[in-house]
Amino acid sequence: MIKYTLLLEILISVWYIKEVAVNKDHSLFVMIMVLLIYHCLKVIYYIFSDKNFKKYISAGLTIMIAVLGYSVFHPAAYFLSVNLAQSIGEFKKENIYFSCFSLIFAFFIPINYLQNFILLNMFSLFLMFAGISMEKKSERLSAQNMALKIEMEKLKEAGLNSKQYMLHLRHASRLEERNAIAQKLHDELGHTLSGSTMQLEASLLMMDKNREKAVNMLNTVIKNLREGTEAIRKILMRIKPEAASINIQAVKMLAMETQKKSGIMIDVIYNGDIADIDYVKWHAATINIKEALTNMMKYSNATKCIIKFERLNKLYKISINDNGIGCNAIKQGMGLQGMDERTLKIGGRLILDGTDGFCVIMLLPV
């Protein structure tokens, strides 16, 4: 706002000097001195930070301009509107429109100065009103910006809290799982092991006195320990997740990460027929899926992708199919060549189809 007001002051000053130059009725020196005094006071006004003091300077300048414009040198009234607007603005900004009353001063201006007075004061009023409007808009935008910053901080804090909550939840799940395993081992094995230990101690004592009974006790201990070993194996089998489940979760995580980065909707479709895919095939397939998804993000312009696992009698079929622009003439770069070589090494075959979107098919032997 200040820079526009200063430009306005310079414009009016140039007009004032032009009037001084053509006027023969007043002393040139006195009129220039009036202008210099005026600008000195305005400099004090602009650089002073004390609001109360600025009010008095602004009000004093307005009165000085009105007196000089009326009784001494009429072109001094060219500065009236801008000073009256500033003076009112220092007291109550929203009532700055009262500065329009400066145009009433036109009744005291001679006809030869009247046109310039009305022109310059109307321009001053327009600029001041525009400046105030821009200042209010700037304040409103600043307030909105501050509100957005606060909202972003809240969202960031919520995100951190959510992440911390997930870590606590994961830790709690692990503790609960460990507790469940410990409880199962205690319930199913604690009694067996304790009893077997006591029987071994008793058989050791009876070995010399009653060998037959000691041997029977040892056979019982061996039987109990075998049952305990079988119980441990069953517990571990129940706890250990299937390899297929682990690998499918890895593919799902890869799909979710790709979806988050690209915005492409990705579905993973599978059934229980793929449970016996071995680790080597899963490893190669996962790397190929990752490469296919990377290529899709770069080149396809797709909005949707389906990753599908099927079993076709003696073959596993894994397909990655998107609805992008496709490719009629497929040129195998390093990525596609690597996928092909990786599939061949495990006895499979890679098929590429770019006619309807882009489709990567891996056929792996059962």
pLDDT tens-digit profile of 40-93? 877 777 777 666 777 777 778 778 878 877 777 777 777 777 777 777 766 565
pLDDT tens, residue by residue, 306-331: 999 998 888 999 999 999 988 888 88
Of 206, 224, 225, 223, which is closest to residue 214 (Cα–Cα)?
A: 206
Q: Judge: domain 243-365, CATH 3.30.565.10.
A: yes
The pLDDT of residue 3 is: 58
> Is residue 296 a contact partner of residue 333, using CB atoms and an 8 Å limit?
no
Mean pLDDT for 236-263 is 76
Helices (H) and strands (E) in the chain, counts: 10, 5
From the number of C-beta atoms within 10 Å of its C-beta (0-12, 13-18, 19+), residue 184 rates as: middle
Q: Residue 7, class by beta-carbon neighbours within 10 Å (0-12 exposed, 13-18 middle, 19+ buried)?
A: exposed
Maximum average pLDDT range among 238-242, 305-309, 335-339, 352-356: 305-309
pLDDT of residue 334: 84
Between 107 and 299, the higher pLDDT residue: 299
In this predicted structure, what is the pLDDT of residue 53? Answer: 72
Edge-to-edge, what's the strand order for the sheet holding 358-365?
A: 265-269, 304-312, 315-322, 358-365, 349-353
The pLDDT tens digits for 152-188 are: 877 777 666 666 666 666 666 666 666 667 666 666 6
The full DSSP string for 190-208 is IHHHHHHHHHHHHHHHHTT
36: confidence class by pLDDT, cuts 50, 70, 90: confident
Return the pLDDT at 344. Answer: 93
For β-strands 358-365 and 349-353, DSSP reports them as antiparallel
In this prediction, residues 12-34 reach a mean pLDDT of: 76
Confidence of residue 122 (pLDDT cuts 50, 70, 90): confident
Element (H, E) at 59: helix 51-71
pLDDT value, residue 51:
67
The pLDDT score that the predictor gives to residue 189 is 65
Average pLDDT over residues 254-266: 90
Residue 263 vs residue 313, higher pLDDT = 263
| Beta strands 349-353 and 265-269, pairing class | unpaired
Place of tokens 């895919």: 277
CA distances from 319 to 158, 264, 277, 349, 361 (A): 38, 17, 15, 12, 4
Most confident of 264-273, 275-284, 298-307: 298-307
